[in-house]
């Protein structure tokens, strides 16, 4: 069922995820879906978990692609993030668009899976800025991620700002490089 | 009716905009709404137009708040953008979440209103990088905007990354300053 849900989100986004369709696809009665998962939130989070695992693998692959300075590593994972989003557009969007039903908190396991991905940014930053505290590095990782996320989001949006992916990758590399250079100069 | 729609979006987001409610509030029959605007797209764009005008005024105020270097101006308008988003959360989100009905393009007037706001970023960049072409400056303005937008979006999201606005303003100032420094160093 998770695979069927992944296929549906991958094609039609979160709006494409419908209990009735899922039940039909996996060949069970509508109500039986809720014997398999607690609710649609859980199902969406399970799909998100698979997306995050593939993103994790993509970032790891980008890091291990030959030796690189911490600065270069940060540029590489930013570009890899852009590529992943472009190639998994709907599943990637679903990660950010999904809202839990009112009053339900995001489960701990899902939060820690998300947070775990920040290590890709944190590690090279810790190498670059050994004098910073873990809290400061965490803030820096968050800022850097959000900035890259914004460039990818609006760049792939095809609305106000539509950029061909090949251009977007270049722009991201320039901006991430500049941010790191600026932060390094200030720290020196 | 535009004011009523603005109030509804401001409270409940785009999802809060319903023909039936609007008609009731302004005291007309449901069908009569479409004598006043062509469709919900037009109504939403008209509300967006008002939001953009207020954002424009807020950025202009931030720029004219005493003399500042181009770098400082860019930091100020980024922080002003953050403040505006925080204070007009639902109306600001509606600018980015609204999608035209399938097959309908965004009207020219709405695109040019959006593009017109980029002058706030373009001008100080042109001062900082006089050797860049207008196209290069346009790309730089777009990158800078998207990066700041991402930080504001995820920072105010209260989901994966929730940051108090006062912290977010500081982080944005640091990152924008670092980006400009990095870009300036590379251009030198």
Mean pLDDT, range B111-139, rounded to an integer? 95
* pLDDT the model gives residue A146: 95
Mean pLDDT, range B85-103, rounded to an integer? 92
* pLDDT the model gives residue A109: 94
Instruction: Closest CB to B175: pick one of A149, A167, A179.
Output: A179
Q: Poorest-confidence range of A13-27, A82-96, A153-167?
A: A153-167
Mean pLDDT, range A131-136, rounded to an integer? 94
pLDDT-derived band at B180 (thresholds 50, 70, 90) equals very high
Instruction: Closest CB to B160: pick one of A114, A153, A183.
Output: A114
Chain A residues touching residue B185 (CB < 8 angstroms): 181-182, 185
8 Å CB contact of B179 and A182? yes
Mean pLDDT, range A116-121, rounded to an integer? 96
Chain B residues touching residue A181 (CB < 8 angstroms): 178, 181-182, 185-186
* pLDDT the model gives residue B75: 96
Q: What is the least distance, in Å, from the CA of B31 to any CA of chain A?
A: 28
Instruction: Closest CB to A175: pick one of B147, B149, B163.
Output: B147
For residue A127, what are the contacts with CB-CB under 8 A and spacing of at least 6? A70
* pLDDT the model gives residue A140: 93
Phi, psi of A38 (to 5 degrees): -65, -50
pLDDT-derived band at B173 (thresholds 50, 70, 90) equals very high
Q: Alpha helix (H) ranges present in chain B?
A: 2-12, 19-26, 33-36, 40-63, 70-87, 89-97, 108-116, 119-128, 134-157, 165-187
For chain B, give the percent of residues with pLDDT over 90: 68
8 Å CB contact of B185 and A181? yes
Mean pLDDT, range B82-97, rounded to an integer? 95
8 Å CB contact of B178 and A178? yes
Q: Which two tokens stand for residue A185?
A: 């100069």
For residues B176 and B75, the answer to whether their CB atoms sit within 8 Å is: yes
For residue A95, what are the contacts with CB-CB under 8 A and spacing of at least 6? A48, A51, A52
* pLDDT the model gives residue A119: 96
8 Å CB contact of A143 and B171? yes
pLDDT-derived band at A187 (thresholds 50, 70, 90) equals confident
Task: Give per-residue pLDDT as tens, B145-172.
Answer: 999 999 999 999 866 566 788 999 999 9
Does residue B29 have a pLDDT over 90? no
Please, what is the average pLDDT of chain B? 91
* pLDDT the model gives residue A153: 94
Mean pLDDT, range A65-76, rounded to an integer? 91
Nearest to A10 by CA among A98, A96, A92: A92
Instruction: Closest CB to A147: pick one of B96, B142, B175.
Output: B175
Mean pLDDT, range B71-94, rounded to an integer? 96
* pLDDT the model gives residue B32: 83
Q: Which residue has the higher pLDDT, A80 or B158?
A: A80
Residue B17 zone, left/alpha/beta (φ > 0; ψ -120 to 50; rest) = beta
Chain B residues touching residue A71 (CB < 8 angstroms): none
For residues B147 and B179, the answer to whether their CB atoms sit within 8 Å is: yes
8 Å CB contact of B146 and A154? yes
């Amino acid at each position: 069922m998770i695979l069927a849900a992944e296929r549906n989100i991958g094609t039609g986004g979160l709006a494409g995820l419908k209990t009735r369709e899922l039940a039909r696809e996996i060949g069970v009665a509508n109500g039986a879906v809720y014997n398999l998962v607690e609710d649609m939130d859980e199902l969406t989070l399970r799909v998100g978990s698979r997306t995050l695992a593939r993103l994790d693998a993509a970032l790891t692959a980008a890091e291990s692609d030959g030796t690189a300075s911490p600065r270069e590593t940060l540029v590489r994972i930013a570009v890899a993030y852009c590529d992943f989003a472009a190639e998994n557009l709907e599943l990637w969007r679903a990660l950010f668009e999904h809202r839990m039903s009112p009053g339900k908190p995001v489960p701990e396991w899902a939060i820690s899976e998300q947070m775990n991905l920040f290590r890709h940014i944190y590690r090279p930053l810790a190498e670059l800025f050994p004098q910073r505290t873990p809290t400061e590095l965490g803030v820096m990782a968050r800022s850097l991620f959000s900035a890259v996320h914004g460039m990818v989001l609006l760049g792939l949006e095809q609305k106000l700002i539509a950029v061909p992916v090949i251009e977007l990758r270049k722009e991201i590399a320039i901006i991430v490089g500049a941010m790191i250079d600026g932060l390094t100069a200030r720290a020196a």
